[in-house]
Structure 1
Amino acid sequence: MKPVLRLALLAALCAGALLLSVRLGAVRLGVREVLDALRGAGDPTTVAIVQRLRVPRSLLAALVGGALAASGAVFQALLRNPLAEPYVLGVSGGAAVGAVAAIVFGVGASSAGVGLAAFAGAAIAIVVVLRMAASVGPTLDTRILLLSGVVAGAFFNACILLVLTFADTESFRSALFWMMGSFSGATWREIGLLAVLAGPALAVLFALARPLNLLAVGEETAQYLGVRTERVKLAAYGTASLLTASAVAVSGVIGFVGLVIPHIVRMTWGGDHRFLIPASVLLGATFLVLADSLARTVAAPTELPIGVVTAFVGVPFFLWILRRRGA
């Protein structure tokens, strides 16, 4: 099957997942009811449920899933490590520090304030990790970059625990719920902001697909073939990290999407990043939309944190990868 047809199939799968997500919930809706509500026709209550609650939530889940999966594919190529994912470089830790501090100390009284604090924390983490890695030598050593991310992540986790010691019961619960991820407060404003940030970032990553293919083989080979490796590494790291930061700011910490999805695509269709990145976007969007649907319905009326659902899928897959590498 040609790559274009594969992408079309994945796009159709994503569209089906979105339609299923909008139908499922406390009030089950038929396909005709959903289509009528999208046009603003039919029962006013159904229109409100579809347009104000379910569609924004499903679209935000799709955008976040696509962003995290694309970032994971890029980090695995950049670090030449199949176990790399967007959160391994401390981005999620920095975002969590910002969000938890905003919740505990009342700086961010609204979801927008918490999201802004999370994005600021993630941006600081990106700069810190990059400076740590760059201070070792004139070139950006990906091994040092990985170690810097791990160290920074451990430090940010300690900061989170420190901030939580000053939290009351309500703020502690809110901070914990944010760190497990949720789309319950999805709004059209958040969707617009994430789309504005994610669109150019994904375009940059698509443009870097060929250099990433060469970097995956080796830096010396890439340089011999005319790739400016340092520029590519900086552009890939910065763009993928900002993409992750944007996703974390609107959804909280949702793990394993960036680890699992690129591997599924790579094992099924190969590792050409010209196909891997867009396919990861579509499959990541589908996966997180379905995971969110499961989180909303499996224990209804209680809603599970989305991070719990993705972890139940991601942890066994992670252990399987470790075992396979060991063998």
Structure 2
Amino acid sequence: MSSLGLAMPVGDENKDKPTDQIEVSSPPRLAQRSRVWRFGFALVLLSAALVLLGVGVGSTGWESVATMWEQTLAMQIVWDIRLPRTLGAWLAGSLLGLSGAVAQGLFRNPLADPYLLGSASGASLGVSTALTLFGVSPFATAWLVRLGLTGAAFIGAVSAVLLTLLLARGVQHTLRLLLAGVIVGVVLGAVGSLVTMLRPDIVQAMQAFMLGSTGFIGWSACAVMVSVLVMCVLASVALSHALDGLSLGEATAASLGLPLPQMRAALVVVIALSAGTAVAQAGLIVFVGLAAPHLVRSVVKTTHASLIVLASLMGAVLLTAADILSRWLIAPQELPVGVLTAILGGGYLLRLMHSQRRYENGGGL
């Protein structure tokens, strides 16, 4: 008898079974659900603390909110600049975390990120095209002013996803969809680089977009992101049982009677809408959508319904913290928030890979 068999008490239901057939019971579902709720509550509290901290961080470093409350000009700065920027970072991170969790569940790949369907390259091409057309003609300038660079980025991101779906001939085959997204991303990225090379005067603006920034987010952008976030959370949670089924394999999910083509199409729309909205408002911010679901899984094991909500909260915490650091580290100057997310997210994933390699080697270095 193994040491595990000696340690586990044998109940009445197992007394007639051989030792090697005794089932070790999993943790009670109630305890697991309680742990999920506690973790979610902790993320909400951390989000609230970060929002308060972000309101007090400006070009001069940290300032007390109580002190600023007595100054009319300071409170106007908080209301018009710092608060919408901090909330915008929280919302953009939440959208990226949600889309990352959905993408990893849809493609059954822990390395999938929100930009896997070509939305990042499409958004950058849309921005470079819009910047190139400024000043070409009075009609084009007026149209682009009304549209805005955020609208151009969103249209570019959604158009890239539609091109991916066209190239993959729908959503029936996950592998074909994945390969089509990679191809579209490479091609549109090359076209965007060509446009930037032909117009050197837009290089600085494109660099700011590629590195990501929350400095231009206002209340209207926050309203747009809130609306999209609510829709995407409701849709993805409603479709989470499809992701649970896909985690067991395509054949098993089909045998459960799930309408996989329709559900895949809806999940692709969620990924495109959430990632496209975040990119349009904050630029290309990397690693948040990739790292947020990993961080959640390292703490709790749960179904995709809870994972999506927790990954959304985790992405919000990550981007809000990165935004605060980008303003505070070298104040009064500012670091691009995408640089910090790349460094922190990349470092975390490297540590994760190193830990996994040590585990596979039996704990050796």
Answer yes or no: is the 8 Å Cα contact 1:66–1:284 preserved in 2.
yes
Q: Structure 1: how far apart are the matches of 2:339 and 2:146?
A: 21
Q: Structure 2: how far apart are the matches of 1:111 and 1:182?
A: 21
Match of 2:363 in 1: none
Specify which of 163, 168, 176 is matched with residue 200 of structure 2.
168
Amino acid across the alignment from 1:183: T
Q: Structure 1: how far apart are the matches of 2:355 and 2:116?
A: 20
* Pair 1:12 & 2:42 matched: no
Specify which of 84, 89, 100 is matched with residue 117 of structure 2.
89
Answer yes or no: is the 8 Å Cα contact 1:215–1:222 preserved in 2.
yes
Amino acid across the alignment from 2:247: A
Amino acid across the alignment from 2:37: V
Give 1:119 shift.
Answer: 0.7
Q: How many residues align?
A: 317
Specify which of 59, 80, 102 is matched with residue 26 of structure 1.
59
Residues 324 and 5 of structure 1: is their aligned pair in 2 closer, same or farther, counting only changes over 3 Å? Answer: closer
Q: Structure 2: how far apart are the matches of 1:120 and 1:67?
A: 17
Give 1:297 shift.
Answer: 1.4
Answer yes or no: is the 8 Å Cα contact 2:55–2:65 preserved in 1.
no
Amino acid across the alignment from 1:156: L
Deviations 1:97-151 (CA, angstroms, capped at 9, x unpaired): 001111233167659611111111111101010111126xxx6211111111111
Match of 1:130 in 2: 165
Q: Greater CA deviation, 246-255 or 104-113?
A: 104-113
RMSD, aligned α-carbons: 1.9
> Percent of counterpart pairs with the same letter?
34
Deviations 1:61-113 (CA, angstroms, capped at 9, x unpaired): 00000000010001001000010000122111101100111123316765961
Q: Structure 1: how far apart are the matches of 2:94 and 2:146?
A: 22
Residues 111 and 93 of structure 1: is their aligned pair in 2 closer, same or farther, counting only changes over 3 Å? Answer: farther
Specify which of 112, 119, 127 is matched with residue 99 of structure 1.
127
Q: Structure 2: how far apart are the matches of 1:70 and 1:182?
A: 19
Q: Structure 1: how far apart are the matches of 2:132 and 2:334?
A: 23
Amino acid across the alignment from 1:30: S
Q: Structure 2: how far apart are the matches of 1:325 and 1:117?
A: 41
The aligned runs of 1:243-282 (5 Å cut-off) are 243-282=274-313
Structure 1: gaps of 5 or more residues: 37-41
Give 1:32 shift.
Answer: 2.6
* Pair 1:159 & 2:159 matched: no
Deviations 1:137-190 (CA, angstroms, capped at 9, x unpaired): xx6211111111111111011011111122233x21011111111011111111
Structure 2: gaps of 5 or more residues: 1-33, 135-139, 361-365
Residues 191 and 208 of structure 1: is their aligned pair in 2 closer, same or farther, counting only changes over 3 Å? Answer: same
Q: Structure 2: how far apart are the matches of 1:111 and 1:15?
A: 34
Rg larger in structure: 2
Give 1:322 shift.
Answer: 4.8
